[in-house]
Amino acid sequence: MPAPEENNWRKYLPGGPNPMPPERRRRAWIFGVILFLVGFLVISSLFPSKTVKNVSYSNLLTYAKGQKVISASINNNSGVITGQLSDGTNYTTNGPVPVLADEVTTLRGDNVSVNFANPSSLAASLLPYLIWILIFGGFMVFLSRQAKGQMNGMMSVGRSKAKQFNQDRPKTTFADVAGYLGVKQEISEVVEFLKTPARYTAVGALIPKGILLVGPPGTGKTMLARAVAGEAGVPFFSVSGSDFMEMFVGVGASRVRDLFSTARKESPAIVFIDEIDSIGRKRGAGLGGGHDEREQTLNQMLNEMDGFDPTEGVVVIAATNRPDVLDPALLRPGRFDRQIVVPLPDLDERLPILQVHAKNKPLDPSVSLEMVARGTPGMSGADLANLVNESALHAVRRHSTTISMEDFESARDRVMMGQQRDSMVLRDEERERIAYHESGHALLAYVLDKTDPLHKITIIPRGMALGVTMTLPEEDRYIMARQHLEDSLCMRMGGRVAELLVYGDLSTGAADDLQRNTELARRMVREWGMSKEIGPMAWGSNNQVFLGEDLMHTRDYSDHTSQIIDDEVERILREQESRAIEVLTLHRRGLEALTRALLEHETIDGDTAARLIDEAHGEPVHPVGTKTVSALGLGQSNADPADATSNGNHAPAPSPVGATAPTTWQPPTLPAV
């Protein structure tokens, strides 16, 4: 049986599965004929049929007197004389122009057959001009075709760029989308409605006009739409929101009309619009008026979905991660009847997502995808797919044929903390300061009661950071209590306070910590009502200035309230700094032990850090269990889970120091060491 590669040419035959298009077949024939003629001319020139002898004109006359010339053919234009000698040899010579009549008479007297060749025919004369005419004509035909193609493009600029899918593509189904059972159920109802509408119309149910998928980037909204295309037995049209926008005003609206007209002809049908926020933004919210092209496109879409002549049998599925910028008229019932939130996957959903992406990967028997899922809170489906791929790449770097837990751990560090910067060389003084800084974070993360469990500490530069202290929650958290937020603020103060305790001055290493703490404290005061001075009042953040809505009024509170907010933010940050000073002073020996271990090993895990802190403290900081997170997110505790709370920690957190703080900043008072 021949190999498949040997029979690939058969599929291009007229009766094959992939016949060659007529235009391509015609070009192939023309190319083959030209190649044959060129080859024939080259080969014929390389192998002449007879040998031609060059003789001088005087020798020719001598040969003629000796009866050695049989024939002579004289060219009147060039004077070239060709013919045959008595020995059968062909000859050629250059004679005078014009040929002398006496010499022609002499040749004929010597029994030479003389004839005259006059190639100056009409065709020969017109041939050079004909060649130029053909070249010019071909060039004009080429230009006309180019102009025709451009005209066709301009005439078709208003046509929709939507791609229509049938049942053969794409192959993605709901079985390929792990998790999100509620989301798949609502979308599958629409598919079933289009397949068997009688079941729903029997009870008076109407088909939804539109479904809006809302969720953060990477949660699988487009994949869900591909699954709908794979499951639906009806025509499926896919288009991006940016495909409607063009430099010509009115093109977007024309494409919307063409899209819905085509879908109406194929009814029932599904239209999927990805990134609908590119054309569905609020009208009149931009600077200097609205965008005419975008607003006309949006108006046409509103009319097509539920206007004077609404479209029947066409369901619109749209996806966006910015529902706050969409026009209210687009979100009302009758247009987008359902808004389905596609959130970040929780623990029960991350495991099947990892199983889908690791299905064809050679995993080591020791790999537990459940542990990987527990150690990846907050990751989207795209992040998990990237995590599995990074672990495979790390296995290849180790020259391993299987993916182990070590590869998943390294891949997660790569995704969450950045690439390791091996080329950066730090001075000993800098390494020591970074070690104290990260040890301050790690010690507070372990000692404080409501912080996330400690996982890993490293002073190896990664990404934009010179050192990283990683904490991981043991379970998904959907709301944040005030004590958890305060402990998080205190933990971030640990690096700055550790440098103050050891060196008595500050460095630029705490810039990111201070920025994140200030933002968090401001949200506690301004948005979450966690301030006694402000009370139960909230003002949203000013993150929508780009819409033009908040440009003219950046805040909706008075200057006096603004001053109170600033004072409360300062008070919260000062209190947490004082708590950090008290805790690090109490556990100064643990801080030194962590620093020495980091300088020696550069990276230590949470269990090692907990052991060092407990040994330096003289007794366990958390008597009922160790508050750390082992590799890839499984908590370690020696206590009975039924008796343990907050990771098995009953030790109370250090009480806040100072209920009030001065409004003028002063360096914190450091206790005597």
| Residues designated catalytic | 438
Tell me the C-alpha distance between 185 and 188, whole Å: 5
Which residues on adjacent β-strands are paired with residue 562?
none
Locus of tokens 């049942």: 167
Q: Pairing mode, if any, of strands 80-85 and 163-165? A: unpaired
Tell me the C-alpha distance between 278 and 251, whole Å: 15
- 603: three-class secondary structure by DSSP: strand
Tell me the C-alpha distance between 16 and 151, whole Å: 35
Q: What is the DSSP letter of 604?
A: E
Q: What are the DSSP E strand ranges found in 141-268? A: 163-165, 210-214, 236-240
Q: How far apart are the first and last CA of the chain?
A: 87
Longest dimension (CA), the chain: 140
Tell me the C-alpha distance between 669 and 189, whole Å: 65
DSSP structure string for 633-672: G-EE--S-TTT--TTT--SPPPPPS-S---SS--PPPPPP
Tell me the C-alpha distance between 42 and 40, whole Å: 6
Q: Which of 613, 648, 617, 656 is nearest to 490 (CA)?
A: 656
Alpha helices per DSSP H over 197-346: 197-201, 221-231, 251-265, 292-306, 328-331
